[in-house]
Amino acid sequence: MRGDAMAETYHWLDVERIAEELAEAYPQIDPLSVRFPKLRDMVRSLPGFAEQPGHPVNERILETIQALWNSEYRDLKQEDND
């Protein structure tokens, strides 16, 4: 999935991209152990992430990101065990 499309900036509504980036950046962190304030800060620190005016983050977005990140995390753990 890397390439020119991945070079573009992304924002809070790009939840799948955020989950993938988190899984890559923090492979050893269990997503379900991260509280929302920390998750928000982790996302903001990701390369390429840029908040957009008028699109603030809310709890529902963070829940979605956490669930998708957890799915990525579990998939990677399963691949490591295969």
Domain that holds residue 69: 4-81
Residue 46: give its domain's CATH number: 1.10.10.600
- Measure CA of the first residue to CA of the last residue in the chain; give whole Å: 22
What total of structural domains would you count in the chain? 1
Number of separate helices (H) and strands (E) present in the chain: 4, 0
Q: Is the pLDDT of residue 82 over 80?
A: no
Q: 62 or 4: whose pLDDT is higher? A: 62
Q: Record the pTM.
A: 0.86
Q: What's the confidence (pLDDT) of residue 7?
A: 59
Any idea what the Cα angle at residue 64 is, between residues 32 and 42, rounded to 5°? Answer: 60
Phi/psi of residue 49, each to 5°? Answer: -80, 135
